[in-house]
Amino acid sequence: MKLICIGRNYVEHIEELENEKPTDPVVFLKPDTSILLKKQPFFIPDFSDDVHHELEILIKINKVGKHIDKKFAHKYYDELGLGIDFTARDLQSRLKEKGLPWEKAKAFDGAAVIGKWLPKKEFDDVNNIDFKLLKNNDVVQEGNTSHMLWKIDELIEYVSKYFTLKIGDIIFTGTPAGVGRVFANDKLKGFINEKELFSIIIK
């Protein structure tokens, strides 16, 4: 099982971090050890003073595929979910300045929250899904999949050029604007439409 993450897939998020708009999807990986265990709090790591939440729609791959054409991509997933790509922003900035990989800032233990899964058939259009993150009951991130630069099926096509997709692999599809720092005792709740898919405490 692997976690395939897409960066810079929402224009407003690109702008808030003052990044350059990419010509192709930005792809990085997280190991399965980065998955936050169910019902466990997220512990801010001692190597960062600026960990940010990044809310994302998730796709769970349901069969093996490589070089998948976009028109067939919809056959490779039947569940969608919601999660967080926790990012040690201070560490990431230092790594980016040196032209080094991001993994230490993105793939550390507990850095991937995976909420409940919903069947794809519940959605009239996967390219028009509202989702949001509440921090201490205040909405801090809101997004809609229609605002993705690369839609879900396009991401599957692109990623499968480089990595064979296997059953159980998860694609993190990118985060909208509104990322921000988390602090001890914060409570985060993630929603697709009005369905709560995860709730975690920060320690």
Q: Could you read off the pLDDT of 23-77 as tens digits, one per residue?
A: 899 999 999 999 999 989 999 999 999 999 999 999 999 999 999 999 999 999 9
- The candidate with the shortest Cα–Cα distance to 122, out of 198, 199, 197, 192, is 192
Q: What is the pLDDT of residues 128-160, one digit of tens each?
A: 999 999 999 999 999 999 999 999 999 999 999
pLDDT score recorded for residue 84? 98
pLDDT score recorded for residue 56? 98
Domain ranges for the chain: 3-201
Which DSSP string corresponds to 22-33? PSS-EEEEE-GG
Q: Please state which architecture CATH assigns to domain 3-201.
A: Alpha-Beta Complex (3.90)
pLDDT above 90: residue 18: no
At residue 15's C-alpha, the angle toward residues 13 and 19, to 5°, is 95
pLDDT above 60: residue 177: yes
Query: CA-to-CA distance for 180 and 64, rounded, in angstroms?
Result: 35
pLDDT score recorded for residue 13? 57
17 — pLDDT class (breaks 50, 70, 90): low
Neighbours of 82 (CB within 10 A): 25
Query: CA-to-CA distance for 125 and 146, rounded, in angstroms?
Result: 9
